[in-house]
Structure 1
Amino acid sequence: MPSSEGQVSNWKRFRHAFSSPSAFHNALRLKSSTSFLINEDLLPSPISRQTWTIWSFFAYWWSESWNVSTWSVGASLIALGATIRDALLVVFFANLLSAVVIVLNGRAAARYHVGYPVLSRVSFGIYGQYFVVVLRSILGIIWGGVQLYFEGQFISVCLRCIFPGWERIPNGIPASQHITTQVMVGFFLAFLFTIPFLFVHTSRIQHLFSVKSVVMPLAGLGIVIWATTSNGGVSSGALATTATKSSVSVFAWGIVSQFNSVMGANSALLVTVPDLARYSKTKNAQLWGQLISLPIGQTICAAFGVITTSAVLSMWGEAYWNPYDLLNGILDHSYSSKARAGVFFASACFAFATLGTSIACNFIPFAADVTCLLPKYINIVRGQLLCLIIAFAIVPWRIVATANGFLNFLSGYSIFQGPVVAIMLVDYFIIRHGNLSMSNIFTAAPHARYHYFHGFNLRAFGAFVVGFLLPLPGFAASFGHTIGSAATHMYSLGWVLSFLMGGLSYWLFCVVFKVPGDDGRHSFEALVVEANETVIEGSVVDGGSSIVDGEGSLPDKEARVKTEIA
């Protein structure tokens, strides 16, 4: 039978891979990589992988809105001094701005079907791309570990519902480490449960988010109904009365800082949304699917978190600012069969939702990015597994030990992401009018237009420095240094300030020092069709060659084979 022959063949290849060091090395190498700029996940996505529809993007962002961070952020903002109304308005408008930036930054990927590492070559240079890719990859690892920790918390709660003696297991881990033996076991199980999903390519993983987009809101609604029913109402003023009152000026800057915290939570995705938008089935699928779902979904999820935290505070006199503490609190107050069943269902849903968030926001972007670092050995599937292994090795529970520490973490790294996305937007929409040259993107030839100065676009790097320089003193102050009020206020502006300064300075640099090429002389996106035809003509199925040869130079037109990329 063909299936048996295929299994035998796979087994023979597996055995042969371990027959010698050279055989193992050949097994690791990707045949699709013909140069350091190319493999199957760096080249434009073929039609067979352009599978994401409007619903796919809507389900992705709607499902992504339902996560621990969003549930916690509204209650955390109130605990730090905002009212319920102010907190929800901050969440809504920050996510509305995020959705607009996401749509704009996804435009180039939806038209040219390439991801963030490839598009960053246009703005930062053939070699300059590595800097911004590593910058984003580090965040993917950190957030991957954080989400893995969240998932472990929920798995631990599920085990507590099943085994009455779960909490009585001796804990030999010091309290200063902010983790227990039970959660450590859950953390390890989360690692194991994540592995099978990482073997699915990004172009086929959208169904996971469709399931999550239905399951998680129902679980969140169930928690809200339980909290309000048990409390006899919403008790919307409970959290507000615990907030510290302050002057108008302090409160206003506090709101700005909280807005920046929400942007900080989204900042990494704003940069790497091309890694998803490249699979858009039509040019506008990513537009409508992303613009609507993110602000609405995140606001509803944050509202559920606020309502639940407020009701529980009214009942028990304690504010649980994250859902896994809340679920453990429910079991502390009642370990009845009914409570255990409800908490198990909610915890399992949150664990599944956190798994989806981790894959969507960390493993996929990290994997798509690091393909450019070692294209001969790493594709998206291998990159996802690599991210999981590294994320498992860090200690993410220290990042989320307190509400203040959590928000400081979100605010801090965003000042380095704001300039990157601003530079990419200005470069695509203003400088190049949406026109890119595929042949120049995939060549390292010195005369190519994206080679710039020895492979680095100094305009982009200068703008990047200008962008993060103003809020940088405030970022340093978050580690214990003393600064003035002006620096503190600039840091409160964080992402917005770095975004505006980075984009404006890049535009000025490009006005003074013209970029090479004539992309900006054509009407908007006039060269899209021509670029896509060039890719198709210059590709060979399973042949390992592409629109550039192994030396990174353009092949003769006569040697091109017109077919779809495998």
Structure 2
Amino acid sequence: MTTAQNAACTDGAPPAATDAPDGAAVPDTSPRLYSPDLAPTKKAGRSWGGYNVFTLWANDVHSLGNYAFAIGLFALGMAVWDILIAFVLASVFLFVLLSLSGYMGSKTGVPFPVMSRIAFGVRGAQLPAVIRGGVAIAWFGIQTYLASSVLSALLVALMPGMKSWGQHSALGLSALGWLSFMILWVVQVLIVSYGMDVIRKYIAIAAPAVLITMLALAVWMFAKADWSIAMDAGSPFTGADRWLNILEAAALWVVIYGTFVLNFCDFTRSAKSNRSILLGNLVGIPVNMLFFAGIVVVLSGAQFRLDGEVITSPSDIVQTVPSTPLLVLASLSLILLTVAVNLMANFVAPVYTLVNLFPRKLDFRRAGVVSAVIGLVILPWNLYDSPVVVEYFLGGLGALLGPVFGIVMADYWLLRRTRVHVPHLYTEDPQASYAYRGGVNPRAVAAFVPSAAIAVVIALVPYFAGISGFSWFIGAVLAGVLQVLLPGRTALPTEDVDGESIAVPSA
């Protein structure tokens, strides 16, 4: 921007349209597209280093839901070495995807709803943002419910008289369940109300506690099983079926992170450098995921060696800890973990989605409260207890994330070659780079509709059960190819135009 524009930014008045370094006009910032929470983060104020990126994964990888998925692989007949191979393949692929996605946030400094405007248009971007936010809100409620179950068990262990609270229920949840749920609900709302920096500090503290607890739990179980584990749960897969299951397990693990690879820029927009992202990803994904896989095979294999049964979650083992002080510490660690995962994976995304929808009415704190209220009123425990809802509704929404990712990535890396005019992401001027037709990019819509339909059909129709685990990949690749091949307008600045000097709109 010019010196005159920078001066205008200082007193808060929007500048007049002038020429940007690439020769394109920089129109006024629109209050319907801009808010302080959606504005690009300034490089001078970024606080996320490599350790912070690592702690993000150190918490999220070790979530109770992930353990249930991985232990389920052992229960379904996959041998220990097959599980390890699947996680090696998945971690390498995720490292590449998350590094590419993270670079976008580090370079532009914008959150996912704004990032989506590049490919979908300043208005069309509401579609991918709402899809991502909708999935996250549902899982926020479900994860809070799962954590509340651990808290309920802990309260009963400490105060046996509270067991009677489980005999009375309302709206499908016991009185004890309501107490535990609301305690964790309030805690999460309070943390989010203080913004991303407090979330960063929380996960930085939670990560070491989680890693130490899970390692200690695995060592305890290993010793309990006389330092040996079962290598499979009986009837392991062989031949072609073995490798198909390994590939499908790896694909499903990537799908679990289909949400994170989409909005990783919500976090990396605060990264100090791209090097911080790469280092954090390197330790947090391949190294940490192998550590996670080792914990999984030890816990499940040791338990199977002991009694011939497969656990469903680490919380099953925690409840058998004979020492009350250790039981309390382990339970609190699991609760600490689940809250951290919820904040990162299921709270930040809907907050930015809501701010993007109502930038003049909601800020980060208010959007956090609205998101939490929605996560409460949907009665998530009833959703979790309904296989139809989880499989068809949430599974269908999840399948849509692959095509969105394919479009955003193909547009940014292949069509635009990483060149972005950031100020144009905040204007409704019809001549701006991302105005397209009424703020919607017809090419992105044309690429999304068929690929999304195919991904959902593959994910949900029983006939395609054999390849349903690959629906995210199929949707992402198809959408990316269509985004590149379909005709349409791609406005390319001759050089990057950052958002360091975007003017604050006056209204």
Q: TM-score range by the shorter chain?
A: 0.7 to 0.9
User: How far apart are the structure 2 equivalents of 1:73 and 1:302?
Assistant: 11
Q: Does the alignment pair 1:470 with 2:454?
A: yes
Shift of 1:245: 5.2
- Change in 2 beyond 3 A, CA 1:127/1:443: same
> What's the TM-score once normalised by structure 1's chain length?
0.78
Measured in 2, the distance between the counterparts of 1:467 and 1:81 equals: 33
CA 299–364 in structure 1, closer or farther in 2 if over 3 Å, else same: same
Give the equivalent residue in structure 1 for 2:483: 506
Matches within 5 A, 1:143-542: 143-173=139-169, 180-237=174-231, 239-241=232-234, 248-328=239-319, 330=320, 338-398=322-382, 400-401=384-385, 412-477=396-461, 482-483=462-463, 487-509=464-486, 513-519=487-493, 522=494, 526-527=495-496, 531-532=497-498, 535-539=499-503
Q: Shift of residue 158 of structure 1?
A: 1.9
**How far off its partner does 1:101 sit?**
0.9
Contact 2:135–2:394 (CA under 8 A) maintained in structure 1: no
Cα distance per residue 1:3-60 (max 9 Å; x no partner) = xxxxxxxxxxxxxxxxxxxxxxxxxxxxxx9610011011111345411112211222
Q: Distance in 1 between matches of 2:392 and 2:286?
A: 22
Measured against aligned partners, the alpha-carbon deviations of 1:134-190 in whole angstroms (never above 9, x if no partner) come to 10110110111121012202211221231133435452459x96x655434322221
Give unmatched runs, 5+ long, in structure 2: 1-28
> Once the 2 structures are TM-superposed, how far is the Cα of residue 395 of structure 1 from its aligned partner?
3.4
1:118 aligns with 2:114: yes
Q: Distance in 1 between matches of 2:306 and 2:243?
A: 31
Residue of structure 2 equivalent to 1:21: none
The answer to whether the 8 Å contact 1:148/1:355 transfers is: yes
Superposition TM-score, scaled by structure 2 size? 0.87
Return the match for 2:53 from 54, 57, 69. 57
Q: Are residues 436 and 221 of structure 1, via their aligned partners in 2, closer, same or farther at CA, if it must alter by over 3 Å?
A: same
Whichever residue aligns with residue 315 of structure 1, its letter is L
1:267 match: secondary structure: coil
Residue identity (%): 19
Q: Quickly say closer, same or farther: Cα 1:85–1:395, change in 2 above 3 A.
A: farther
User: SS of the residue aligned with 2:233?
Assistant: helix
> Partner letter of residue 491 of structure 1?
S
* CA distance, structure 2, for counterparts of residue 137 and residue 325 of structure 1: 31
Residue ranges of structure 1 left out of the alignment (5+ in a row)? 1-32, 332-337, 540-544, 551-566
Q: How far has the Cα of 1:391 moved from its partner?
A: 1.2
User: How many Å separate the matches in 2 of 1:195 and 1:500?
Assistant: 37
Alignment partner of 1:96 out of 84, 89, 92: 92
| Number of residue pairs matched by the alignment | 479
Give the superposition deviation at 1:307: 1.4
State the structure with more CA Rg: 1
Q: What amino acid sits opposite 2:347 in the alignment?
A: F
Report the RMSD for the aligned CA atoms in angstroms.
2.7
* Structure 2 residue 46 is matched with structure 1 residue 72: no
Q: Which secondary structure state, in structure 2, belongs to the residue aligned with residue 52 of structure 1? A: coil
Aligned-partner SS, 1:470: helix
Higher RCO (Cα < 8 Å, 6 or more apart) = 2
